Amino acid sequence: MGSTTLVFGGAGQLGQCLQHVAKERNLSGLVFLPEAQANILNTETLQAVFAEYRPAYVINCAAYTAVDKAEDEVDLARKVNCDGAENLARLCGEFGPTLLHISTDFVFAGTGNQPLQETDETAPISVYGLTKLEGEQVIPGHTERYFILRTSWLYSEYANNFVKTMLRFGKERDEMRVIWDQLGTPTYAIDLAGVLLHIIETGSTAYGLYHYSNEGVTSWYDFAVAIFELGGLPTRTVPIRTAEYPTKATRPAFSVMDKTKVKTTLGVTIPHWRESLVVCMGRL
C-alpha cells in the first residue's frame, strides 16, 4: 500500500476545496478522480483503480445532493449515496486503505433544540437524508478503518452553493425573502477539507463517526444578511417561515451539531462561521 490518497467526486465542491488546501499545504500523493474516470457505481472500474493505485486513503466526495430532486429520483439517490458508499467500503476492506466518507446533518429529524451528538437518534425526513444514512450504515460491515464526517450547509468559492447564489441574486434584486425558522451552522468547505487532510497527515486511527461544521448557530436569513453585508450589497432581506417557501423535500428545522468529539479526539480547532465566511468572501 503506497502513500496515495484517491479522491472520488474530485470535480465537485469539496473535491475542488481539497485540491486547493493540498496545494496550500504542499501535499503530494492526492489523485482527484472525476466521475467520468471513476464512477463509484462501476465496480469493475473501481476494482481496476484500487489495483492500480493501491491507495493508503480513499476520500469519498461523490454524492447525490439534489435534495428536492431526490424525492422523485429515489433509486438514483440510493444508488449513489448508499450503493456507491458500499462499493468503496468493500474495496477498502479488500485493499486496506482508510475510508474518509462525507455525510450530512439531514440524517436527523431536526425537531429538537439541543446540539446534535454522534450518538443521537437518527430519523431522516427526506429521501436525501435517508439515503445518506443508509450509506453511513453499510460502511462498517466492510471495513473497520473509516471516518464518517457529517457536515452541514456547505459553501465555498467553488461550485454552486448558497453564498454564491445569494451574491448573484443580491446583484439582481432589491429584496430577498429568506427562511428564518431553520437553524444550523454554515460550513466553509475549505475548513472541512483541512480536517480531512489533517486526519491523513496525522495518521489518526481514531476511526468512527464525527460531526463537523463551523462553530456558532444561525438561520438561513441571518446567513444571507451577513453575506449581503460583507458583499457590500444593499439588498433588503425579508425573513419568511419555511411554510411560505414550500419545497418538495422537508428540511430539518434544527440541525446544529455538537463538535466536542472531533475537537477532543482529532485535536482540530474550528473557526466561527462568520470568520470563515469573511475568508471566503475575500477570495470571491
End-to-end CA distance of the chain: 39
Chain mean pLDDT for the chain: 97
Mean pLDDT, rounded, for 182-191:
98
- What's the pLDDT tens digit per position in 235-246? 999 999 999 999
- 78 grid coordinates: 440510493
pLDDT at site 19: 98
Among all residues, which ones are annotated catalytic?
128
CA distances from 175 to 46, 165, 245, 252 (A): 47, 14, 15, 25
Residue 113 lies in a domain: yes
pLDDT at residue 1 greater than cutoff 70: no
Q: How far apart are CA 63 and CA 43, in angstroms?
A: 16
pLDDT at site 35: 87
Distance of CA 71 to the CA centre of its chain: 19
Mean pLDDT, rounded, for 29-34:
94
Residue 284 lies in a domain: no
Residue 224 lies in a domain: no
Identify the residue whose cell numbers are 473497520: 144
CB under 8 A, 24+ apart: contacts of 263-267: 265/206, 265/210, 266/195, 266/198, 266/199, 266/202, 266/204, 266/206, 266/210, 267/202
- 87 grid coordinates: 462499493
Residue 70 lies in a domain: yes
What's the predicted TM-score (pTM) here? 0.98
pLDDT at residue 174 greater than cutoff 90: yes
Mean pLDDT, rounded, for 25-37:
93
Mean pLDDT, rounded, for 91-111:
98
Q: Which domain CATH number covers 104? A: 3.40.50.720
The answer to whether 73 and 248 are in contact (CB under 8 A) is no
E strands along the chain, which residues? 5-8, 30-33, 57-60, 98-104, 146-151, 154-155, 175-179, 183-184, 187-188, 208-211, 218-219, 236-240
**Would strands 98-104 and 208-211 be described as parallel, antiparallel, or unpaired?**
unpaired
- Percentage with pLDDT > 90 across the chain: 98
pLDDT at site 36: 85
Residue 68 lies in a domain: yes
pLDDT at site 175: 98
Q: How far apart are CA 35 and CA 199, in angstroms?
A: 24
Residue 93 lies in a domain: yes
- What's the pLDDT tens digit per position in 197-209? 999 999 999 999 9
- What's the pLDDT tens digit per position in 37-73? 899 999 999 999 999 999 999 999 999 999 999 999 9
pLDDT at site 253: 98
Residue 162 lies in a domain: no
Give me the domain span that covers residue 10: 5-156+187-215+256-271
- What's the pLDDT tens digit per position in 119-173? 999 999 999 999 999 999 999 999 999 999 999 999 999 999 999 999 999 999 9
Binned at pLDDT 50, 70 and 90, residue 34 comes out as confident
- What's the pLDDT tens digit per position in 211-237? 999 999 999 999 999 999 999 999 999
Residue 41 lies in a domain: yes
Domain count of the fold of the chain: 1
